[in-house]
Chain A
Amino acid sequence: MMIEIIDIKSSLRVKIWVQAIWSVMASFIGVQSNTNRERDFEHGRFSVFVVAGLLMTLIFLLSVYGLVQLVMMYVQ
């Protein structure tokens, strides 16, 4: 019984994070649907979005950097 509650809680937490990361990715390409926006603004937490945003920016930077390194290696 106890374990079940914890499971629900932690799976909910994971869900919040996954949704935030998806929303940040949507914002990077600049397209988001009304349904997802309503979900974000009704159930999302601001701090989660800030952290997800910073995280995704870092990932964006690293992936562009990785891409550049790859191109450089490929050419030389």
Chain B
Amino acid sequence: MATVDVDLPHVKDEDPHHHGPAKGLGRWLYTTNHKDIGSMYLIFSLTMFMIGGIMALIIRAELFQPGLQLVEPNFFNQMTTMHGLIMVFGAVMPAFVGLANWMIPMQIGAPDMALPRMNNWSFWILPFAFLILLSSLFMPGGAPNFGWTFYAPLSTTYAPESVTFFIFGVHIMGASSIMGAINIIATILNMRAPGMTLMKMPLFVWTWLITAFLLIAVMPVLAGVVTMMLMDIHFGTSFFNAAGGGDPVLFQHVFWFFGHPEVYIMILPAFGIISEIIPTFARKRLFGYSSMVYAVASIALLSFVVWAHHMFTVGMPLVGEVFFMFATMLIAVPTGVKVFNWVATMFRGSMTFETPMLFAIAFVVLFTIGGFSGLMLAIAPADFQYHDTYFVVAHFHYVLVPGAIFSIMAATYYWLPKWTGHQLNETMGKLHFWLSFVGVNVTFFPMHFVGLAGMPRRIPDYALQFADFNSMASVGAFIFGFSQLVFIYNVIQNVRAGEKATAQVWEGAQGLEWTIPSPAPYHTFSTPPKVD
């Protein structure tokens, strides 16, 4: 992250392709360098993570005990909505795009991304999208308050005025994601070094290839659904307005047709990262590489046929209910058992437990717990009791926080020495890990209990029987939130100083990115490497 300390050998004037970064602000505004753009994505994502995190802490502070203490219900709804939107579209997705920008060219032996100018553009529209979204907090009527799933007609007929800004923001984010995805596909398919066949690609590259296809397939669906909202709000159509002959349930079908693949968009790159880290620190090749590639590829198709399991209580016909239950169960198993592959990789390996490995192991354990609650949610009759309760909140936070977010942290610690040229401060890294690990579990585990006991989600105040576990969750949230300051400290310290890192950095690391010096020079693989 931040400035890369570049120490290039003498630059020959006649070779215009070998130059260092430009000076000043212009370097960041006009850059087409994949490393600079990757860094900007990551810094942006971290900023959004902190903003979304502050909103989460406001939510948890209000829920620390029954009664209304700090915020009004309407503002509470704005916080839950913005927290969800910012974390999904502002923190998790840009972080993965940032990692892709940094690592994919280096992992496949390419000099840069295939479409560097579009790369610059797809990053630079993002801050504006989120400025538009965040500015709605200061508008009369407040920010969007209809939940990150923005179900109509609450988000159309009954929405605050700022919904139009929200729609505009979502359109820009969508355009950014689509451009990012096109760039990644073009890079992977066209820019691989000689000998780097598809079947030799690291899993991070593979999972991102599939993710990019998913993005191109579903972001237009999201854009479509917000455009339908826009038409309903401003141009008198009635897509989702029952009074005008429309159908509010149509909204949910279209939204989840985007939303379910979106879940995989947020977890597939994480699978890729974990599949890089565990073999490195187990000093053993990934178990079942082929199976992983095939399973991930099939998700690109099968994730499109299970969306309505988010809508079991909506009053679907019995046939639909049973269909989506069966389809969900059948798909869950082959993707879920990939956890076994990671365990099998560790089995009879030679393990060490540096910070990235700790995060990766925590990912495997806690993501599996999130997978289990997912299996429970797939049982349609039982889902009538789970749906829209804190059990669901616990479920998706287990797959997204110790899932996606932990994988991003693992990746950052894993590749940071390559970016900055400095070895990690393991003590501080481990401190961050243990604080986060404890914080995450104290926050989200009790949510399973209050959910089962009957606490609905998205409520600013609750009945007394839920009080104890809610205070516990709030304490955990503050531990987790503030422990991220350790993370920021670690990263900044690492950028500024540290023991010199070797090219390979980690003893068991394999792959092209570990053959170039640390820090990676501003331009890498200008002459393609030869892969056998």
Contact = CB atoms under 8 A, between A and B. Distances in A.
Nearest to B298: A27
Interface in A36-66: 36-38, 41, 53-54, 56-57, 60-61, 64-65
A24 B401 CA distance: 32
Contacts of A36: 290
Contacts of B298: 24, 27-28, 30, 53
A2 interface: no
B327 A64 contact: yes
B291 interface: yes
A31 B305 contact: no
A57 B290 CA distance: 20
A34 B289 contact: yes
Given A41-B199, A68-B326, A32 B294 contact: yes
Contact of B295 (A30, A38, A56, A67): A30
A36 B322 CA distance: 35
Interface stretch (B152-160, B334-342, B433-441): B334-342
Nearest to B322: A68
A32 B334 contact: no
Given A30-B291, A54-B301, A72 B318 contact: yes
B290 A28 contact: no
B330 A27 contact: no
Contacts of A64: 323, 326-327, 330
A32 B198 contact: no
A68 B319 contact: yes
B197 interface: yes
B305 A33 contact: no
Interface string A15-34: 00000000110111111111
A20 to B, nearest CB: 12
Given A30-B335, A60-B302, A67 B326 contact: yes
Interface string B261-303: 0000000000000000000000000001111011101100110
A38 B305 CA distance: 29
B301 A72 contact: no
A1 interface: no
Contact of B322 (A32, A38, A72): A72
A12 to B, nearest CB: 21
B323 A41 contact: no
Nearest to B300: A53
Given A41-B198, A61-B305, A30 B319 contact: no
Interface string B310-328: 0000000011001100110
A8 interface: no
Nearest to B335: A30
Nearest to A28: B298
Contacts of A23: 294
B293 A37 contact: yes
A69 to B, nearest CB: 8
A56 B301 CA distance: 10
A73 to B, nearest CB: 11
A65 B323 contact: yes
Contact of A30 (B199, B305, B322, B337): B337
Interface in B191-246: 197-199
Interface-central residue, B198, B290, B319, B337, by most chain A CB under 10 Å: B290
Contacts of A61: 305, 327
Interface of A: 23-24, 26-34, 36-38, 41, 53-54, 56-57, 60-61, 64-65, 67-69, 71-72
Given A29-B334, A61-B327, 5 more contacts: A30-B295, A32-B294, A68-B319, A69-B319, A72-B319
Interface of B: 197-199, 288-291, 293-295, 297-298, 301-302, 304-305, 318-319, 322-323, 326-327, 330, 334-335, 337-338
12 contacts: A29-B334, A30-B334, A30-B335, A33-B290, A53-B297, A61-B327, A64-B327, A67-B326, A68-B319, A68-B323, A68-B326, A72-B318
Nearest first, the 6 closest Cβ-Cβ pairs linking A and B are A30-B295, A30-B334, A27-B294, A27-B298, A37-B290, A32-B294
